[in-house]
A and B are shown apart, each in its own frame.
Chain A
């Protein structure tokens, strides 16, 4: 396989902000009028990575990790303090109009459509803005309708759409000009489970059909699991991890948790008989117990079956770890190898070496 030009190349990207520290109270507010105190905040700190054409990469991290700032620099909205971005051979902020012509962007919390226009009118206008010929636009809308099922919504004003419908239309809108590179900032935020599944299925589809490269930020681990073979973990502006999701999950398997509520309290020793030494039991409520175990050694299903056989169980759950807890653990225990040096990120599945 020849070495393709990366869709995106980022080297030592850094962004600092001057943050205005507000004083407290009315007197403080008046003093703020006269003199402001600023603090320097390093929102993104020397991150480097590369994305190959056709890849889907998840950008994750807790609030304030620098995800949005990174996306804004990659889309050309913000100018980096230092470092380099090269997307399709262009520097986004320097060549804004040419850059945005070939990218698509969806910000989950904010629509790109015109509130008072019917969806189809927004699409037609976007077609004009991006210079898509009318015939090509109609064809594109047809193809997007086939996967997103938006045909019935086209005549509705955007303000009358539900959140899920709006998101589908926003996704379609971001793809009208057939961008090679797609940025999705929280594309499933606020959606119900059915709508989330729909959006994920759609993103997999367009990645397959159009080989669109995508960078996705999300708080939802399921988005990552279903879409992104490769993830970048940011924390406090730094790139903590760049590699396959599987490696993170493997590191996490050792601390799988199971919560069980019994109908009546039982002695801890009775529970400790289940699963043997590989499982640690704690009592966390009057009738609630927590098991911590290694998923690779003890199967959650076996543990659940044993519990149901021996106890009167009222509730049982195996909570998904949150991204925050994953990151905390990466920090605390060094559970995964640190990111490799700049530009030498591990290749994605079937990647180049």
Chain B
């Protein structure tokens, strides 16, 4: 177990080093991603200049949700780049064979072979916004709350990783670029706002089909004291575990398909 852990951290640290080899690129990427994060937050702030509340949700509550959502999203983004580019880099350009030649699970290699440390800015900025909004809402942080924050961060990241692993697996079967990443990625945005404002139909999709509601909204109701979502809120780790298993199963199936079709 310790050997496996040292292998995985070693693998990951090397990929970070490789990334840092291009300093200018790293800095410009950091700058661009900070800008994108700031724009998202600014959007929420400006929205509330026009309207007093959003379907019964106050500005601070929405900002709290938005900030909190950046924590699992940032963790996910450390690993996400290879999932987004999987079809091009690994299937079409043929790098996947190399992963099969190494005695390590392929998905683990894929996630750790290339990483973006700049995504940590999302975690930091998100935490800052959530803490600020939380203070305005008068939230007190107990030990249980902090623990739950950790659970939310990990579960959310796992759900995002699972969903995008499943999407990446599709290219095993089609051996082609699949244009589903962008539309699904856009749905992440919806999970950052109170789900009820989107109505029952979209709410159901975001809860049970592509469970981005569990990345932030449902588990965040723990902090906001909205007991209407109590059951779904505490089901978050279970949903994450279920999707992790589903993601692994689909990936395994995809690898099997690749190995019997690839050329």
Which of B3, B17, B256: most chain A CB closer than 10 A?
Answer: B17
> Contact between B97 and A77 (Cβ–Cβ < 8 Å)?
yes
> Contact between A116 and B101 (Cβ–Cβ < 8 Å)?
no
> Contact between B17 and A129 (Cβ–Cβ < 8 Å)?
no
Decide if A218 is an interface residue (CB 8 Å cutoff).
no
The one of B6, B97, B113 that contacts A72, using a Cβ cutoff of 8 Å: B97
Shortest distance from the beta carbon of A182 to any chain B beta carbon, whole Å: 12
Shortest distance from the beta carbon of A39 to any chain B beta carbon, whole Å: 13
Q: For the complex, give the distance between the alpha carbons of A96 and B19 in Å.
A: 29
Chain B residues with CB under 8 A of A121: 14, 17
> Contact between B102 and A100 (Cβ–Cβ < 8 Å)?
yes
Q: For the complex, give the distance between the alpha carbons of A79 and B11 in Å.
A: 28
Decide if B260 is an interface residue (CB 8 Å cutoff).
yes
Shortest distance from the beta carbon of B9 to any chain A beta carbon, whole Å: 9
Decide if B100 is an interface residue (CB 8 Å cutoff).
yes
B10's nearest neighbour on chain A, judged by CB, is A128
> Contact between B263 and A125 (Cβ–Cβ < 8 Å)?
no
Shortest distance from the beta carbon of A171 to any chain B beta carbon, whole Å: 15
Q: How many of B's residues come within 8 Å of A, CB to CB?
A: 28
Shortest distance from the beta carbon of A71 to any chain B beta carbon, whole Å: 10
Report if A125-B10 is in contact (Cβ < 8 Å); known contacts: A77-B97, A78-B260, A116-B21. Answer: yes
Contact residues on A (Cβ < 8 Å of other chain), bracket: 20 to 34
Q: For the complex, give the distance between the alpha carbons of A124 and B17 in Å.
A: 14
> Contact between A110 and B260 (Cβ–Cβ < 8 Å)?
no
Decide if B262 is an interface residue (CB 8 Å cutoff).
yes
Report if A97-B104 is in contact (Cβ < 8 Å); known contacts: A114-B14, A129-B7. Answer: yes
Report if A128-B103 is in contact (Cβ < 8 Å); known contacts: A17-B263, A77-B97. Answer: no
Decide if B18 is an interface residue (CB 8 Å cutoff).
yes
Q: For the complex, give the distance between the alpha carbons of A117 and B114 in Å.
A: 12
Chain A residues with CB under 8 A of B100: 75-77, 96, 100
Q: Which of B78-119 contact A (CB under 8 A)?
A: 94, 97-98, 100-105, 113
Chain A residues with CB under 8 A of B260: 78-79, 81
Decide if B230 is an interface residue (CB 8 Å cutoff).
no
Report if A128-B6 is in contact (Cβ < 8 Å); known contacts: A105-B101, A114-B14, A114-B18. Answer: yes
Report if A130-B259 is in contact (Cβ < 8 Å); known contacts: A110-B94, A121-B17, A157-B21. Answer: no
Q: For the complex, give the distance between the alpha carbons of A78 and B98 in Å.
A: 12
Shortest distance from the beta carbon of A83 to any chain B beta carbon, whole Å: 14
Q: For the complex, give the distance between the alpha carbons of A117 and B94 in Å.
A: 20
Decide if A18 is an interface residue (CB 8 Å cutoff).
yes
> Contact between B98 and A110 (Cβ–Cβ < 8 Å)?
yes
Contact code string B251-263 (vs A, CB < 8 Å = 1, else 0): 0000010011111
The one of B103, B113, B263 that contacts A97, using a Cβ cutoff of 8 Å: B103
> Contact between A77 and B18 (Cβ–Cβ < 8 Å)?
no
Which secondary structure dominates chain A's binding surface? Answer: mixed
Report if A100-B103 is in contact (Cβ < 8 Å); known contacts: A72-B97, A116-B21, A131-B3. Answer: yes
Chain B residues with CB under 8 A of A116: 17-19, 21-22
> Contact between A93 and B7 (Cβ–Cβ < 8 Å)?
no
B104's nearest neighbour on chain A, judged by CB, is A129
Q: Which of B23-42 contact A (CB under 8 A)?
A: none
> Contact between B263 and A77 (Cβ–Cβ < 8 Å)?
no
Decide if A207 is an interface residue (CB 8 Å cutoff).
no
Decide if A69 is an interface residue (CB 8 Å cutoff).
yes
> Contact between B102 and A78 (Cβ–Cβ < 8 Å)?
no
Decide if A112 is an interface residue (CB 8 Å cutoff).
yes
> Contact between B103 and A130 (Cβ–Cβ < 8 Å)?
yes
> Contact between B259 and A79 (Cβ–Cβ < 8 Å)?
yes
Q: For the complex, give the distance between the alpha carbons of A112 and B101 in Å.
A: 9
Contact code string A123-138 (vs B, CB < 8 Å = 1, else 0): 0110011110000000
Chain A residues with CB under 8 A of B104: 97, 129
Decide if A101 is an interface residue (CB 8 Å cutoff).
yes
> Contact between B14 and A129 (Cβ–Cβ < 8 Å)?
no
Shortest distance from the beta carbon of A187 to any chain B beta carbon, whole Å: 15
> Contact between B262 and A77 (Cβ–Cβ < 8 Å)?
yes
Q: For the complex, give the distance between the alpha carbons of A29 and B73 in Å.
A: 39
Q: For the complex, give the distance between the alpha carbons of A69 and B262 in Å.
A: 10
Q: Provide 20 A-B residue pairs closer than 8 Å at the C-beta atoms, listed in order of the A residue.
A: A69-B263, A77-B259, A79-B259, A79-B260, A96-B100, A97-B104, A97-B105, A98-B103, A110-B94, A112-B98, A112-B101, A114-B15, A114-B18, A115-B18, A116-B19, A121-B17, A124-B10, A125-B14, A128-B11, A129-B102
B interface with A by C-beta (< 8 Å): 3, 6-7, 10-11, 14-15, 17-19, 21-22, 94, 97-98, 100-105, 113, 256, 259-263
A interface with B by C-beta (< 8 Å): 17-18, 43, 69, 72, 75-79, 81, 93, 96-98, 100-101, 105, 107, 110, 112, 114-117, 121, 124-125, 128-131, 157
Counting from the closest, the 4 A-B pairs by CB-CB distance are A116-B18, A79-B260, A101-B103, A97-B103
Known: A75-B100, A78-B260, A117-B17. 6 other contacts (CB 8 A): A72-B97, A76-B100, A79-B256, A100-B101, A105-B101, A114-B113
